[in-house]
Amino acid sequence: MKLVVGLGNPGKEYQNTRHNVGFMVLDELAGQLNVSFKLNKKLKSELVKTKDLILAKPQTYMNLSGEAVRAVADYYEVKVESDLVLVYDDLDLKLGSFKLTFAKGPKEHNGVLSVKKHLGTDRFWHLRVGVDNRPTGWSQAGADYVLSPFTKDELDVLNQVIQKVVERILDFRF
């Protein structure tokens, strides 16, 4: 059983922000699979289980995501190194791009750091979705920028890359 976790923050105020790209990807994936998320309070996540996949959206807020990821991985006895894909926003990548890497994430991302801390490893698949669309000389702190909403034009670009990311997940052989 493969576990695909999308990182984000619960709540409408975060819905279309850069930090919620992981949730956006999983929502699209669930839509294509014609399944719906259900809240599991014990596992601190919204979950969907199909024949081959477990989809999880932690409901702990980004900086505590590791608590939920660990709970879900333990409950379903997931082999983290081979069966976990963590999907999240990455300021090191330009908007419209993505990278699938093993045991290699961004320089700084509190959600990923929380997951690494709670799992005791970074040896899992990282599906990093680019969200950086800052002009040269932009002075807003990265932590504030990722909590800002996408513009309509940016959402158009993002929706195209989300389709590619979902295809990659569905085609991915762990």
pLDDT score for 116: 95
Residue 123, pLDDT above cutoff 70: yes
Residue with tokens 């807020």: 61
Residues 22, 57: contact at Cβ < 8 Å? yes
Residue 106, pLDDT above cutoff 90: no
For the record, the structure tokens of 82 come out as 């081979």
- DSSP conformation class of 122: -
Catalytic residue annotation: 19
CATH architecture under which domain 2-171 falls? 3-Layer(aba) Sandwich (3.40)
Q: What angle do CA 74, 114, 98 make, to 5 degrees?
A: 95
CA pair distance 89, 21, nearest whole angstrom: 6
pTM: 0.94
